[in-house]
Amino acid sequence: MTPARASASMNRGYRAMMLPASIAVGIFAIAPLAGMFALSLTNYNLIRGWSGEIGIANFLRLLDDHRFIASVYIMAALSGFGVLAQVVLGTAVAVGLDKIVSRWKAARGIFVIPFAVPHVAVALIWLSLFTPTLSPINAFFDMFGITVPAMLTTQSGAIAAIVIADTWATYPFVMLIVLAALQGISPDLDEAAALDGASRVKTFFLITLPLLYPTLLMVALFRFIETLKHFPLIFVMTNGGPGRATQATNYYAYVQTFQNSNVGYGASIAVVLFVFAAIVSFYIARFNARYSNA
């Protein structure tokens, strides 16, 4: 067999192997996205049904929708504080485990346990902890006559409660990625810094942390995309309240679609959220690639 025929045969084999995955992506990813885009250009209503095409009117309506604009700010607060807390906590735990994980591998498994808990269960756990009549935390402070404020009754408290619950459940993901990156850094660098008289703190901030920047950027991107899916925590813990204080964009899309029956308008909100996540992901990944190649 000539090299050209061998290459053509290998290409056919690769295409054949990729066919099942391509079909799965088409059915479970591309088709739903296409359907969502198509719905966003209609005014389909669960009660009234179809009433004709309206083009981009739904997207123009978003510009004057104060509830949508408010939901974007709420989503930004949840995602921004959430990613920051997860990256900081995950990195801190990873640095603490870096020196002992080789001697006590069970430590890694213990810290990963929250990541295995379903988000609905996480929401129920933290809902009980933040409910004064159920919380063992409140009961403990009550013994000393200290009144703990009910976090879920104010906007700032409710947002903080969601961030805390999400951070507890997902910081192990950051920890595992950063821990793997730490164990890939040569110990000779730490030894050289120690011989030069650098403290452990200086060594971390001047040597270790710069080497972790690409990893931290990529893990922050992954966590940012995930924080756009706060829906289970919001639905169970606050139901969008108090008032509309925690109606993030994804929750507002649910309200418009299933509570107000405006499927077309809800789809347009989901499309905007998807496009925003795609743009941010593209630029963060591009920046990370440039940083890694610098």
Closest to 167 measured CA to CA, from 199, 134, 119, 106: 119
The Cα–Cα gap between 289 and 109 comes to 31
Q: How many helices (H) and strands (E) does the chain have?
A: 14, 0
Q: Write the pLDDT tens digit of every residue in 224-273.
A: 888 887 888 999 999 988 888 899 999 999 999 999 989 899 999 999 99
CA angle 244, 160, 111 (to 5 degrees): 135
Kindly give, in sequence order, each residue whose CB lies less than 8 Å from that of residue 53, ignoring residues fewer than 6 positions away: 41, 42
Who contacts 219 (Cβ-Cβ below 8 Å, separation ≥6)?
A: 87, 90, 173, 174, 177, 178
**pLDDT for the residue 105:** 63
Cα 288 versus chain centre, distance: 18
Residue 45 neighbours by CB distance under 10 Å: 15
Give the SS3 label for residue 238: coil
How far, in Å, CA of 132 to CA of 88, rounded?
Answer: 29
Q: Determine the Cα–Cα distance for residues 192 and 9; give it in Å rounded to an integer.
A: 53
* Best CA proximity match to 72, nearest among 282, 269, 254: 269
End-to-end CA distance of the chain: 44
φ and ψ of 262, to 5 deg: -90, 80
Q: Which two tokens stand for residue 172?
A: 């192990």
pLDDT in tens, 124-160: 999 988 888 878 877 777 777 777 777 888 888 999 9
Q: Which residues of the chain have pLDDT under 50?
A: none
Tell me, what's the pLDDT at 123? 92
Q: Rg of the Cα trace of the chain?
A: 24
H or E stretch covering 199: none
The structure tokens 């603490």 sit at 96
SS (HEC) of 5-39: HHHHHHHHHHHHHHHHHHHHHHHHHHHHHHHHHHH
Closest CA to 249 of 91, 125, 76, 127: 76
Two tokens at 241? Answer: 């309240």
Residue with the two structure tokens 């295995």: 116
The whole-angstrom separation of Cα 176 and Cα 79 is 20
**Domain over 69-124+152-293 is classified CATH 1.10.3720.10:** yes
What is the domain partition of the chain in residue ranges? 69-124+152-293
In three-state secondary structure terms, 42 is strand
Q: Confirm if 44 and 50 have CB atoms less than 8 A apart.
A: yes
